[in-house]
């Protein structure tokens, strides 16, 4: 988990730094015409600019979200490779965007789908969050399906195995 966390967080922060230094806000570089561009955006909200100007709320929400996931990870006995991977992605995504909100007051976004104009410009932290959450859902499905097949309730840390 730690290697994934560090690698994804480094990728996110380095790309944000490079593109923020090289592009003015609103400036675009075409990577693959009609497919993908790099376009510098300072996002003062969440996806699609929702909750713009509510930085304190978004910071608190991110911290609560991270605390819940860390609590779940600590509590979970079944720390499979899949759980470790998804948590590395989720935490790196949260920390990457939290860093921007705390130090800049906005999130630096730069990846833009040229074929889908209404899709928000995003960054690698956003990708990491999406990948991590999808993997977490897959983990939960696999874990609970296995538990159901074995005729057991999923293990909890405070179960005394008195059955």
Domain positions in the chain are: 2-149
* pLDDT exceeds 80 at position 155: no
Higher pLDDT, 37 or 145: 37
SS (HEC) of the chain: CHHHHHHHHHHHHHHHHHHHHHCCCCCEEEEECCCEEEEEEEECCCHHHCCCCCHHHHHHHHHHHHHHHHHHHHHCCCCCHHHHHHHHHHHHHHHHHHHHHHHHCCEEEEEEECCCCCCCCECHHHHHHHHHHHHHHHHHHHHHHHHHHCCCCCCCCCCCCCC
Q: pTM of the predicted model, to two decimals?
A: 0.86
* pLDDT exceeds 80 at position 153: no
Q: What average pLDDT does this structure show over 25-40?
A: 95
* Residues tagged active-site: 109, 126
pLDDT at res. 162: 47
* pLDDT exceeds 60 at position 157: no
Q: pLDDT (tens digit, 9 = 90+) per residue, 96-140?
A: 999 999 999 999 999 999 999 889 999 999 999 999 999 999 999
Q: Are strands 28-32 and 36-43 parallel, antiparallel or unpaired?
A: antiparallel
pLDDT at res. 53: 86
Q: What average pLDDT does this structure show over 140-148?
A: 86
Q: How confident is the model at residue 154 (pLDDT cuts 50, 70, 90)?
A: low
* pLDDT exceeds 70 at position 2: yes
Is residue 73 within 8 A of residue 67, CB to CB? The reply is: no
pLDDT at res. 163: 42
Q: pLDDT (tens digit, 9 = 90+) per residue, 43-80?
A: 999 987 888 989 999 999 999 999 999 999 999 988 89
Let me know how long the chain is.
163
């Amino acid at each position: 988990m730690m290697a994934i966390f560090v690698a994804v967080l480094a990728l996110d922060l380095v790309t944000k730094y490079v593109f923020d230094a090289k592009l003015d806000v609103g400036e675009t570089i075409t990577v693959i015409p009609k497919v993908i561009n790099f376009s510098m955006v300072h996002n003062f909200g969440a996806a699609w600019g929702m909750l713009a100007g509510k930085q304190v709320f978004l910071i608190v929400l991110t911290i609560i979200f991270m605390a819940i996931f860390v609590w779940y990870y600590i509590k979970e006995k079944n720390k499979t490779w899949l759980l470790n991977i998804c948590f590395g992605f989720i935490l790196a995504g949260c920390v990457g965007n939290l860093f921007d909100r705390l130090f800049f007051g906005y999130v630096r976004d730069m990846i833009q789908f040229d074929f889908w104009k209404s899709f928000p410009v995003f960054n690698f932290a956003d990708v990491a969050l999406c990948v991590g959450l999808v993997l977490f859902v897959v983990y939960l499905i696999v874990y609970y399906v296995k538990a159901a097949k074995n005729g057991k309730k999923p293990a909890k840390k405070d179960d005394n195995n008195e059955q």
